[in-house]
Each structure stands twice: as structure tokens, then as C-alpha cells.
Structure 1
Amino acid sequence: MLTTLLLIVVLQLVYVSMLTVRTILTIKGYQFMASLLSAIDVLVYVIGFKIVLDNLDQPINLVVYCVSYGVGLFLGMKLEEKLALGYLNISVITKKENIQLVQQLREAGYGVTAWFGEGMEGERLVLSITAHRKQQNRLSKQISELDPNAFMVAYEPKHFQGGFSFQPFRRASSLITLPKKKKAYQI
């Protein structure tokens, strides 16, 4: 009985964690990886569900199955946070005197667009910074050290093209091969 319960827990944790990551990969456009994970997670699901159905005379199996689902969902979200796939754009509003922040961020390899805006207390420096999601905490810390009162908003862009591009962006875009144009011949 204990072996069955442990097997149900392990299968559910694997299944739901993979399901969560697969859903996030699908949303982010990683179609191949999402498809591959779906084939694996459905196999794990069928095995786990069969074990529960074969042992319906013991309701604890169903309870463990349901609780493990919730824990697996939590683990899947934590796993995706650690993977931190994709990019983010951080909008920063700071004092206009912090203009040196623009150059510091560019020297650190970030793509930064800066302009002056008007806030409630006068002129402000507005920054738009594109970076990998894995860099979010470090970038936020760098900005906060210069201006603890800086206003920051981060969001994940779905698509971008053109503009400043650092090495990791170029590598990702080089995976896309465009068809060559056919030559036109005159007769």
C-alpha cells in the first residue's frame, strides 16, 4: 500500500510539473519542446491514473492523487521560474539626473532606449530595457542601487524585431532560415 501511494505521488509530481512547464512553453512559442513534453506527460498520466483506478477500493489513493496534483503544479511553476525562458522588457522611470544609468546599462550589455518624460514632480528619465528573464533580479538590483525610488515595470514581449540586438538575440534569430528569393529570368 505504501509503495502504491509513493508511486502515485512520484507520478503525479512528474506529470503535473511537466504539464505546467509544457503549458508555459506553448504560450512562449517553444512548440517543439512543448510537443515533446506532451508525449511524455500523457504517458506518465495514463500510468498514474491506471494505478488509482485499479485501487479505487482504497480512497486514500484518490486523496493522494489529488493532493499530489496541487504540489506538482506548484513545483512546475517553480521549475519554470528557474528556467526563466524568454526575454523581458523593463520600463524604468527615474530622476532626470540619473542619465549616467543609461551608459552604465549599455556597457553592461543591455539594450536601452531612453527619453525624457513629464511626471507629477517635473521632468523624468524614462528607460526601456530589453534583457533575458534570468537577468531580471540583477538588473532590478543595479537600478535600485542608483535610485531606490525608481519606478520599474517588467513585462514579457511576445515578439520583437529590429533595433539593438546583443549576441543572445542574434543567436536565437539565426535559427530562422528564410527561403531564398527565386531569380527572375527574362525571355
Structure 2
Amino acid sequence: MFGIDVPPLSWAVLGAAAWIFALRVIGVTLSTVRVLVMLRGRKLASMVMGFFEVLVYVIAIGQVVNNLSNIWNVLGYCFGFSAGTLAGMWLDERTATGFATVRIISRTKGPRIAEKLRDAGYGATIEWGMGREGRVGLVLAIVRRQEVDDVCHLADAIDEQAFVTVESAQAVRRGYMHLAQRES
């Protein structure tokens, strides 16, 4: 029923597989970015990306289903999916839009970390909590996703043992935001 055919390589066979590969890279890249955009609450952008994602998917799957026994088309589809996932993640890292909540927990150096962040132009709020071994300082900073690494490095310079988590901030309203432009 599902006999696999390994047609001899020709420009036509390679071209068809490459076309399917390219379609899947585009489609899955759109899918990855669409989900990330959707999680940030951008409804219209997510809807438009979803339309093109499905359009590309239908074209690609149609090419594979028309000749399901052709292993080169199937491999192009599978490898395109994998490469598209990587491409979507790479694109998201490069664009890094939106905001993140950086939470830094330090046993003894919370106030110094907050002060260092403020000196660097970031807003920082400190709270106190109880950890397993006693009182801890909890520093919160809402920053642009592009600035997360900078904030983590500033915290590490004060306390290498600090526990750091980063979460996507769904919506940001008011408050103090770091407005300095990044150096290129």
C-alpha cells in the first residue's frame, strides 16, 4: 500500500524536494513566530501569520500527497519542518520584541543588585521573602527582552549564587522603563 519509491536523482526530483523543503521552512517559521506573537497578545499579527502558515502548509502537503511514495519529497517535508523550527526560534531571538520579567533571588545581596540595576538605568523593585535557609531579597525588573542578558550579567557581577528566572511579561503599563538605546 505505501511502497517507497526511490526515484533516481534528477534536477526535477531534487527541485520538487527542495521546493517542499522551502515551503515547510517558511510554514513552520511562520508557525513558530505566530505562536510567540500570539502569546504576546498581538491578535491581528497572529491572525495574518496563521493565514499564510496554513496556505503554505496546504501547498506543501499537496505536493507530498500527490506522490507519497517518493522518498525525496517525504524527506524534504520532514527536514523542512525541522529546519523551520530552528529558523523560527532564530528569528524570534533576533527580533526579541516585547518585555520580560527578571526575578533575582539573593540571600544577602538583593539591595546591592537592585541598586546596581537602578544605576544602570533599569527599574528594580525589591521584596523580602523566606527561603529554605532564611530571609532572601527578591529583586524584580521588567525589561525589554533584548536587555535580559544585560540584567542577568549585572546581577551575576554582584552575586554569582543568585537564583534568576525570566518570564515573558504579557502586558506592561506604566512604571519605570529603561529608555537608553542599545549600542550597536
User: Which of 3, 10, 14 is equivalent to 1:2?
Assistant: 14
Q: How does 1:32-71 map to 2 (within 5 A)?
A: 32-71=44-83
CA distance in 2, matches of 1:14, 1:44: 7
| Cα separation, 1, equivalents of 2:122 and 2:67 | 56
CA RMSD, 1 decimal: 2.2
How has the CA–CA distance of structure 1 residues 145 and 114 changed in structure 2, closer, same or farther, with 3 Å as cutoff? Answer: same
Q: Which amino acid in 2 is paired with 1:111?
A: G
Q: Report sequence identity in percent.
A: 26
Aligned to 1:165: 176
CA separation of 1:4 and 1:146: change in aligned 2, threshold 3 A: same
Deviation, 1:22, is 0.8
Q: Distance in 1 between matches of 2:130 and 2:54?
A: 53
Matching residue of 1:179? none
Alpha-carbon separation, structure 2, partners of 1:58 and 1:125: 61
Report which stretch shifted further, 131-140 or 103-112: 103-112
What is the alpha-carbon distance in structure 2 between the residues aligned to residue 119 and residue 167 of structure 1?
30
- Which whole-Å CA distance do the structure 2 matches of 1:93 and 1:167 have between them? 21
Matched pairs, number: 167
Q: Which residue of 1 aligns with 2:114?
A: 102
In structure 1, C-alpha distance between the alignment counterparts of 2:105 and 2:78, rounded to whole Å: 45
Letter in 1 for 2:177: F
1:81-103 deviations in whole A, cap 9, x for unaligned?
A: 33222211112122435533322
Give the drift of 1:61: 1.0
Map residues 65-80 of structure 1 onto 2, 5 A cutoff: 65-80=77-92
Q: Give structure 2 stretches of 5+ with no counterpart.
A: 1-12, 180-184
> SS at 1:156's partner residue?
strand
Helix, strand or coil at the partner of 2:171 = coil
Letter in 1 for 2:92: E
Q: TM-score of the superposition, structure 1-length normalised?
A: 0.77
Residues 139-178 of structure 1, C-alpha deviation per residue, up to 9 Å, x if partnerless? 111110111111112212323444x23276xxxxxxxxxx
Change (3 A) 1:46 1:98: closer
The correspondence of residues 81-92 of structure 1 with structure 2, limited to 5 A, is: 81-92=93-104
Q: Which residue of 2 aligns with 1:27?
A: 39
CA contact (8 A) 1:90 1:129 kept: yes
- Contiguous gaps of at least 5 residues in structure 1: 169-187
Kindly indicate whether residue 153 of structure 2 is the aligned counterpart of residue 147 of structure 1: no
- State TM-score, norm by structure 2: 0.78
Give 1:168-179 correspondences, 5 Å limit: none
Q: How far apart are residue 121 of structure 1 and its match?
A: 4.2
Q: 1:117 to 1:23 in 2, by over 3 A?
A: closer
Equivalent pair of 1:93/1:152 in contact (CA under 8 Å)? yes
Whether contact under 8 Å (2:101, 2:167) holds in the other structure is: yes
Q: Distance in 1 between matches of 2:108 and 2:73?
A: 61
Counterpart CA distance in 1 for 2:131 and 2:70 is 64
